[in-house]
Structure formats: C-alpha cells, structure tokens
Structure 1
Amino acid sequence: MGLFGPALVALLFFASLAIPCTEQEKSSLLQFVSELSQDGALGSSWDNATDCCKWEGISCSSENTVTDVFLACRNLEGHISPSLGNLTSLLRLNLSHNLLSGGLPLELVFSKSIIVLDISFNLLHGDLQGLPSSTLQPMQVLNISSNLFTGRFPSTSWEAMKGLVVLNASNNSFTGQIPTTFCVSMPSISVLELSYNQFSGGIPPGLGNCSMLTSLDAGSNNLSGNLPDELFNLTLLEHLSFPHNQLEGSLRGISKLTHLVTLDLGGNRISGNIPNSIGDLKRLEELHLDGNSMSWELPSTLGSCTNLRTINLRRNMFSGELTRVDFSTMPNLKTLDLVWNNLTGTIPESIYSCSNLTALRLSGNRFHGQLSERISNLKSLSFLSLVGNSLTNITSALQILRSCRNLATLLIGRNFMHEAMPEDDRIDGFKNLQVFSISRCSLYGKMPPWLLKLTNLEMLFLYSNQLTGPIPEWMSNLNFLFYIDITNNSFTGEIPAALMEMPMLKTDKVAPKAFEIPIYLTQSLQYSKPGSFPKVLNLGANNLTGVIPKEIGQLKELLSLNLSFNKLSGEIPQSICNLTNLEVLDLSSNKLTGVIPTTLNNLHFLSEFNISNNDLEGPIPTMGQLSTFPNSSFDGNPKLCGPMLAHYCGSSEKKFSTEVAKKMDERVIFVIAFGAFFCVGVLYDQIVLSRFFG
C-alpha cells in the first residue's frame, strides 16, 4: 500500500495534465478559422478531435485554458472573428504580419483578459473614433501599427485602459491633432508611437504631463509650430523622435533630457545652434538634426557625448572649423555625416581615432589640404564621401586610401582639380570597392589600368574630366559593373565590341545589400542600395567614332543608353530594339544616317528619347511610342519628315505631284483629242455638205 500511494498521486497528476480545453474555447477557435478566406493550413492542422491546447500557435495555462494565440506571419486572409473574444482567459493575441482585413472587433479591444494585442502589419481599416469606452480594461500593450485605419485618433475611447504602457498606432492614416488625454487617462504610458500618420497642428504642451514616457515618436506627420518647453520636462525620455515635420524653434532646454539615447529632429525647420549643454547628454547614442536650418559652429562639448554612435547633421548651415570637436572621445562612433554645410579648415585628425567608424561623409563643405595618412587607421571604414571640397594630390590620396581594406563606396569627385589621373600600378588594395566616383575633377590622362584590379566594382563615375585615348576593352572584365558614366571627356576611337559582353548588363541580378548611408545624386534623389540604381551605359560627349555596334542588342537589362555628342556614323542598328527595358535613349548630335527603325516602337518604357542633330532621313513613325515625343527629339535632321515637323515626307509629295501631273496629262490629252476630233468632224462635215450643195 505504501508503494501504491505515490503511484496514485502520479496517476492523478498526469490525469490532471490530460484535461483538454473546454468545448467553448475549441468552438471559438474553430469559428475564427472558419471565417478566414485563407487560413494558412490551420483548418487542416486544428483537429476537432484533439485538445486545442496542443494546436499550433495555441498555449494554455496549467488549468488548460487558452492564454496565448500566436499566429503571426501565417498568410491569413479574411476578417477577424469576434469569437476570439470568448476566450475568457486569453492574455496575449498576436495576429501581426498577415493579410487580415475588415474592422477591429470590439470584443478584442475591450476584452476583460487580454493584456497584449498585436494586429500590426495587416490590412485592417475603419474609423476607430466611435469605439465606446467601457469599464476598466487590463490592456497593457496595444499595437495597431501598419494598417489602414483612418479618422481622428480615438483617445477618449481607450480611456478605460488605465494600465496601458505601450501604444503603437504608427503607419496608419489618423488625422487631427495629437491628443493629450493619454497623460491623464493612461498614467503608466511609457511608449507612444504615432509616426507615419496625418496628424497636424502643434505638439500639445500637455504631453509634458506624461511623466512616465520613455519613448515618443511622431515622425513623418504634418506637425508644425515650435517645440514646446513642456516637452523638455519628460525627464525619463530615452527616445525623442519627430523627424520629417515642419517644426520650428530651438534646442534650448535639451539638457534636461539626461536619459536621452536617441534624439531625432531631422527634416524640420529647427534653427539656432546646438547648445553647449548638449554635452550633458552623456547617454546619447543617436543624434539626427539633418535637414534643418541650424547654424553657427559645432560646440566643443559635443565631444562629451562619449557614447555617440551616429552623428547626422547633413543639410544645415553649420560653419567654422570642425577641429573644435574632439572626436577621439567617441570610441563607438560608426557614422559621421556632415554633408552640405559650410565647414572650413582641414579634416580633424581626431576623426581618425574612431576605429569603429564605418561611414564618413564630409562632402559639400570647404575643407582643404591633403588627405592625412592617419585615415588608414579606419580599418572598418566602408563608406567615404569627400565630394566637393578643395582637396589636393589625388595620387597620394589613393595610395593612402588603399589601406582602408573594407572600403565599398568611395566618392571623391570635385576635388583635385586639373591634376593628372594617376596611372601608378601601385594603386591597389581596393578589393571590396563597389562604387567609385571621381567625377567633375577635370583630370587629364587616360583611363587608368589599375581600375581593372577593382574586381568587385559595380558603379563607375568618371564623367566631366579631360580623359583621352580609347575606351579600354578590359572594362568588360569587370564582371559586376552595371553603371558606367564616362560622359564629357575626350575619349576617342570606336566603341569597343567588348563592352557589349558585360555580364551585368545582360542579367537582372544585383547583389541585395545596402549602403552604410544613402548615396545622393542630388539633394532630393537618394539611393539606399545598389539595386536601386538603374543599369546605365553613358558614353556621351566624347570623340567616339565608327558605328554603333550591332551587338548592343545583347545588353537587354540596360535602362539608360547615352551615346550623344560624339562622331558616330552609320545607321541606328535594328538590334537596339531588343533593349526592351530602356527608359532613356539618347543618340543625338552624331553623324547617324539612314531611316528610323520602326521597331523602336517596341521600346514601350521609353520616357526620354533624342535623335536630334544627325543626318537621318525618311518618315518619323506616326504611331506607337515614338509618336509621343516632342519635335525637339527629331530636330536637326533635314531629311526627316512627318506631321510633327510640319514637313511632309518626300514620298507623299512625289505621290501627290504624280497624281496631279497624271490628272493634268489626262486633261491635255482630252483637249487635244477633242480638238482633233472636232477639226476632223468639221472637215468631214464640209466634204459631206459640199457633196450635197456643190
């Protein structure tokens, strides 16, 4: 009997574990699945004959009541059934990252048990303003982000959620002003995410009463007005983010936010300087003040923010010498972006102590001098842009930079003016370089042979220099090259047939990686990854001769082809019509002859087309894609004709004149014949009459 007792206890224990979920809970879950139009195979895996606590995505308590429904990323489609509200012990419901549509059931919002509700990244819609408030709710985390909800933000509807800690409503279409009732009705609110909506008006000063807030994000809305002083009373804030609005004012009072880890006010109208008190933010890791109207010198106290990882101050009006800031105190700095300011002097040597730096952009300033050898200390540097300064000695710069073995993007154009393109064979080491720009420098010399060593090169910008000689055939050996811009140089000779063999211009493959920071072609045009760039072959404004190679039709992935302002002759090859992805085709200002191939109408994506200033002849197609372009696309070809040039084609004129002449001849023949017949008739009459009256 002594042995039987423990066995009985064990039996009773395992029997208690075998208690299945209730029929009500099972029925509610099956009802939810039955109302989906696409159930992600849940219908087949949720067997009515088994315990629902063992179903995929379902967790239960020790009493075998359903506490968790986790069905994220299951490709579920259809609406959310209110039956889930019948799970009276449900604590956490996650239906995020699906394709669910329809409205948000009230039974879930005002559940008496749910503490975490995540329906983010779906297609749910509707106006939540009408949701009724109810008795006290236990909800602590509510995530409705990345849906299609509209209307005013229903803050008063959720006043019953006194214990709400996290509210994420970002990436919807909510309108109106940001409410401040959070601070009264939800005293525990810690995280408030409202970015990517359509909120307008100012930042309400009442937000300063949300004393427990640690994260506040309302970026990418239509907010305006000054930063309220009350905002700086949120002394627990770790993340303050209001980018891409129209906010004004200054940063006075920022020193109160001593817990700040992230400060993002980029893309606004903030003015004034960065106050010296910025140095009080000892925990600051991310500083984004880009795209504002800030000015004056950078404070030396910035060096006291020793935990900084990112400094983004691009597109402002900061001036003075950057050497005021001691960057050597920032060992964790990874990104320093100061493009488009008015900074002067030399590049601070202290930057080269930031051994973890991966992205450095100082373009669009007024730095001068030579590049320091100490930059080779930046072993992690992947992105370097120094465009548009007054740097000198390109040979030295390249010999130094070859030591930065991880460089993938190197942009150094508009420097080294009128220097010689180095041909030094010792320039190597750029094994990882993918983007290389040394444009608008007026460099003279030839295409440097050391480019062939850049075996991973994808984009090459050499435009607006004074380079001469032929385009080398070895360029086709750069197997990853897909963007070539060597316009506005003095290259001579024929277009190498080898260029028509470039593998990346034949395939649609581009490595799916991202730049450390976006590349700007203009201040409004940016690219975050190589795959965003079009595939381009720009050889315009040189002295190239000969014909356009017929093999050009092999480059089927080209989106832009520019051969303008050369001395190319011969006809437009029919094979260009195989480049069906072309969006830009410019063959203007050459010596091309012959007719326009009608098959160019097969280039349905063409948005820019120019064959002006050649010696082409014949009719311009009056139907299809080519008929949509203006006269300027065809001007300067005296032998071209067509309605758009108000110059009727010669064949039509000839046909017209032939028909007129034919009709004139017929009339003349008729008159002559009639006259002759008349004369013969009169003479005949006279003879006959003379016979009768003689």
Structure 2
Amino acid sequence: MIFKVKFHISSSSDMLSKLQKLTVLGLGGGNKLSFLEGKNTSKVTFLSQVRALDLTSCNFVHFPNFIQHLQELTTLSISNNNIKTIPSWLWNKTTLESLEVSNNLLMGDISPSICNLQSLVELDLSSNNLVGMIPSCLGSFSQSLQLLNVSGNKLTGNIPQIYVKGNLLQLIDFSSNKLYGQLPRALVNCRMLEFLDVSRNHFNDSFPFWLGSLPKLKVLSLRDNQFHGAIMCPLKYTFPQLRIIDLSQNRFSTKLTSEIIMCFKSMIISNKRQLDFKDVIHSDNAEIDIDSHPFSMSNKGVVMDYLGSQYLHHMVAIDLSCNKISGEIPDIMGSLNGLVVLNLSNNMFTGSIPSSFGKLSSLEVLDLSLNSLSGNIPQQLTELTFLDFFNVSFNNLSGPVPENGQLSTFDNNSFEGNKDLCGIQLLKKCEDHPKPPLQKPDGDQDSESGYFFEFYWMVILIGYGGGLVVGLAVGDAFSVDVYRLLKKIF
C-alpha cells in the first residue's frame, strides 16, 4: 500500500518537535509526499541533530531547502524522485559521507564543486540525464571514497587519469554512458577495488590485463564497447579473486588458450555446497515468482533478469559472447567447477564440445550457439544436473542428442541449425543411431586440471542480457547493492 502524505515542515511539526535527540529520519520507501515548506526553514530546530536523512521516492521536484540547515548531516538519500538540479549550497555540506541522488532527472554537467565534499565515502549519481565530462577531481578529491557510481547518464570524454595511491575505492561504475578512449592505467592504484563496470560505452582499447594485478577485484564488465585484439594474461596478472568477467559484444579476436583459462583459477571451488535454482529462491524468504522462468532467448545469447541476491550470491560467470574468438575450446575449461553461467555464443569456435564440461557441476547456463562446433554432443553433459538453460543452435553438430538428464528437458530451439543432429527432443528423429559410450576424461585433461589452485568462496550479483550486465533487471541501478553485498559476504 502506498500512502500519500502532505507534510508541512514549518507549521505541522508538533509531533516531530518532541524528538529532540532525533538523528535518523526516514520518510522514503514508497510514500508519495507533497512537501510544503514554509518561508523560514532555518528555524526547524528539531531537525538540527539529524545525521541520516532518507527522502527516497517522495515525489520531490527539487531539493527541500531545509536540508541546507542540517549542520550534522552525514548521509543523504534523495533517490527516485523528479529532481532536475542540485542546488549549489549542497556542495558546502562538507560533513556529508554518503550522497545518493540516483534515478532522478538531473541535467547538465557534474559540477566540479562536488569535490568540496572531501569526506564522501559513497557517491551515487546514477540513472539521470547528466552530460559533459567526468570532473577530473573525482579520482582524487576524497581519500575516503569507496563507492563511485555515475552509470546510466550521458557523460562523454575520457575517464579521469587521476587515481592517487592509497585510495579506498571498492566500486566504480561508469556503465551506460558515452565515454571513450582508453581505460586509465592509474586504475592499478585502486588496490581495494572489487567491482569495475565500464560496459555500454565507446572505449577503444586492448584487453586491460594489468587489472589482473588488483588483489581484490571480483567483478569486471567491459561489455558492449570496442575492446579488441588478443585476451592476454601474463603470469604476474592473475586476477586472484575474479568471480564474474564479461567481455561480450566487443572485438576480441584471439584463440582461447589454456594459459588464458588459468587466469580464472579463482573460479574453482573446493568443499562447495550445491544449490539449485528452486532451493535458492525458497531460501531466506525470498520474494521471487517461482513460476517465471529466469532465462529467455535473444539473438545474442542468454538473457537473465536479476532475481535477487538469494539466487545470485553464489554466481560465478564467464561471458565471451559476440566477439571473434576462434580455435577450439580448451578442455581445461572443465576445471572451473564453480561456473554457474558460461556463454561462448556468437564467436568462431571450431572443434568439438569438450567432454570435460561434464565436470562443471554447478553450471546452470551454457550457451555455445552461433559457432562452428562439430561432432557429437558429449554424453558427459547429462551429468549437469542443475542445467536450466542450454543452447547449441546454429553449429555443425551431428549425431543423437543424449536422452538422459537435463538435456532431455530442452526443446528443438536449443538444437536448431544443426542439420545432422537428431533426437527425441528434435523435429528430426534418430534412426537407430548407437549411443556414444560414456568415457572418462583422459589423463591429459586430469593433468591440466591439477595445475589449478583451489579456493573456497561465495560470490555476489549479476545481471545478464546478451552478456553479463552488472545491473538491476538488466539495468544500471544495482551496483550499490553489489557493493553492500560484497561487504557482507566477503
């Protein structure tokens, strides 16, 4: 139920005036307030001790003037309103540690005066209509800044080069803007960084292997840009904590070598607890519609809507879709047993589907469509008991589709475009084809697997739309939630 409330702050505050020690005031959360301010808001003495103010979803069209008189204010959330401008007096509130103005109608440039707020720990200006360049001071103005989110705007130009050593940045989200150029190498100074999303921009750069030196990086999304060339991973750049990597919809053209796969050794789990989709959505009283299927098709692969942290906290994912990656898929990829989502669709892969994929016991999404793969579908894939989405359409596969396990639950759409495939799931039935024997992986595969170290971990959030989208409902609004989950889980 949504309440519509008229709140006259200067004359109808008798009840609140009795709360002389009020430090936290929350009027948000879906209430549609009509905020009627009197002429003399400076006399609102009962709010003088307020340190945290929540005015989300309050139907505001401008910043309430009384805020400028809150001398102790450290936390201000005024997201999900209809505000078009930020008043200049806000930049004088140097006590602010958290400022959230996301999902409004902000227009114009980001004022350089924002860098007066040198105590900021969290800054969220996402999902507005901001234009112009990112102020260069945002890379150095606050030694305490941990969260920087300006996604979902119309910002242009380069990312500022200034990221001072010793900064505390843990989340940087520049996604869904019009930024271009190269990623600043000064990002290697962000030694605390766990989440970096620059997706859906116009960056033109080679693979930033140097980010592999960041000791805590868990989520990296370069999706939908113009990154190009080979995916490289020199020995000292090993991405030690990486859980989610999205390189989809770029121009990478390389072979996927075993050395590259070894960079993702953090995606191996030991002592893992298997969770299937139904278990998770019932856990922790999750409010998720269990009748709605989480996956749907597009011409770019899998689309997965954000379902809530109850499902996504254990997500581990690789998305290389929509590039020009060639050669065979290395058998050693089957060693990444923590993978939940693997999307290699719309590339130039050749050879057979590795039978080692049968070892990916956590896998729920496998998309190999729109390649040039050949041979049979390995019988070992029937061992993937959690598989909820499977697509090998438009390849050169042949022979019968294995009838056991999860593979028998997918319809013809998952296999179309392979003229020599047959099976009970397909329109083309088999004519007494012998079933391929279930073979154990050879010794070489086991040997390669032994090169990996094993880690125990649990992982966080993902949104997935023809590539992994680190966003809410395949959008741009949940990176703050990602950051907070990272703080809780790790």
**So what's the TM-score if we normalise by structure 1?**
0.53
Q: Distance in 1 between matches of 2:75 and 2:376?
A: 57
Structure 1 residue 421 and structure 2 residue 182: aligned?
yes
Structure 1 residue 357 and structure 2 residue 120: aligned?
yes
Which piece of structure 1 moves more, 297-306 or 631-640? 297-306
SS at match of 2:345: coil
Q: Deviations over 1:502-539 (max 9, x none)?
A: 231113699xxxxxxxxxx999766599x925111111
**More helix, by proportion:** 1
- 1:536 pairs, out of 308, 311, 317, with 317
Q: Deviations over 1:9-51 (max 9, x none)?
A: xxxxxxxxxxxxxxxxxxxxxxxxxxxxxxxxxxxxxxxxxxx
- 8 Å CA contact 2:215, 2:241 repeated in 1: yes
Q: Deviations over 1:609-666 (max 9, x none)?
A: 111111111112233111112321111111111222221114369xxxxxxxxxxxxx
- 1:555 pairs, out of 326, 329, 336, with 336
Structure 1 residue 606 and structure 2 residue 387: aligned?
yes
The equivalent of 2:465 in structure 1 is none
The equivalent of 1:545 in structure 2 is 326
Where do 1:460-609 residues align within 5 Å? 460-474=220-234, 477-501=238-262, 502-507=264-269, 532=313, 534-609=315-390
Q: Give the C-alpha shift of residue 322 in structure 1.
A: 0.8
Instruction: Classify 1:300/1:352 alpha carbon distance in 2 versus 1 (closer, same or farther; 3 Å).
Output: farther
**So what's the TM-score if we normalise by structure 2?**
0.73
Structure 1 counterpart of 2:3, one-letter code: L
Q: Give the C-alpha shift of residue 307 in structure 1.
A: 1.5
Instruction: Classify 1:608/1:266 alpha carbon distance in 2 versus 1 (closer, same or farther; 3 Å).
Output: farther
Cα root mean square deviation, aligned = 2.9
Residue ranges of structure 2 left out of the alignment (5+ in a row): 273-302, 435-490
SS at match of 1:318: coil
- 8 Å CA contact 2:118, 2:141 repeated in 1: yes
The equivalent of 1:251 in structure 2 is 7
Structure 2 counterpart of 1:635, one-letter code: E
The equivalent of 2:412 in structure 1 is 631
Q: Give the C-alpha shift of residue 457 in structure 1.
A: 1.5
Structure 2 counterpart of 1:266, one-letter code: G
SS at match of 2:132: strand
**More strand, by proportion:** 1
Where do 1:137-152 residues align within 5 Å? none
SS at match of 1:297: coil
The equivalent of 2:452 in structure 1 is none
Q: Distance in 2 between matches of 1:378 and 1:543?
A: 41
- 2:170 pairs, out of 402, 408, 412, with 408
Q: Distance in 2 between matches of 1:363 and 1:309?
A: 20
Which piece of structure 1 moves more, 385-394 or 609-618? 385-394
Structure 1 counterpart of 2:83, one-letter code: F
Structure 1 residue 272 and structure 2 residue 34: aligned?
yes
- 1:337 pairs, out of 92, 100, 110, with 100
Where do 1:300-379 residues align within 5 Å? 300-319=65-84, 321-331=85-95, 333-375=96-138, 376-379=140-143
Which piece of structure 1 moves more, 474-483 or 588-597? 474-483
Q: Relative contact order: is structure 1 or structure 2 higher (C-alpha 8 Å, sep ≥ 6)?
A: 2
- 1:435 pairs, out of 189, 195, 202, with 195
Where do 1:118-157 residues align within 5 Å? none
Q: Give the C-alpha shift of residue 489 in structure 1.
A: 0.5
- 1:289 pairs, out of 52, 55, 62, with 55
The equivalent of 1:54 in structure 2 is none
The equivalent of 1:458 in structure 2 is 218
SS at match of 2:92: helix
Q: Distance in 2 between matches of 1:584 and 1:460?
A: 19
- 8 Å CA contact 1:255, 1:278 repeated in 2: no
Q: Give the C-alpha shift of residue 372 in structure 1.
A: 2.5
The equivalent of 2:482 in structure 1 is none
- 8 Å CA contact 1:322, 1:347 repeated in 2: no
Which piece of structure 1 moves more, 574-583 or 495-504? 495-504
Q: Deviations over 1:516-574 (max 9, x none)?
A: xxxxx999766599x92511111111000001100011111111111001010111000
Where do 1:147-186 residues align within 5 Å? none
Q: Deviations over 1:243-267 (max 9, x none)?
A: xxx3222333464424332222333
Q: Distance in 1 between matches of 2:396 and 2:198?
A: 35
User: Percent same amino acid among aligned pairs?
Assistant: 30
Aligned residues: 391
- 8 Å CA contact 1:489, 1:542 repeated in 2: yes
Q: Distance in 2 between matches of 1:457 and 1:425?
A: 15
SS at match of 1:445: coil
Structure 2 counterpart of 1:295, one-letter code: F
Structure 2 counterpart of 1:285, one-letter code: R
Q: Give the number of the structure whose alpha-carbon radius of gyration is greater.
A: 1
- 1:262 pairs, out of 21, 24, 28, with 24
Structure 2 counterpart of 1:286, one-letter code: A
Structure 2 counterpart of 1:603, one-letter code: L
Q: Distance in 2 between matches of 1:487 and 1:421?
A: 17
Instruction: Classify 1:427/1:626 alpha carbon distance in 2 versus 1 (closer, same or farther; 3 Å).
Output: closer
Q: Distance in 1 between matches of 2:24 and 2:333?
A: 51
Q: Deviations over 1:321-368 (max 9, x none)?
A: 11344242341x221111111111222444323333211110111222
Structure 1 counterpart of 2:371, one-letter code: N
Structure 2 counterpart of 1:587, one-letter code: L
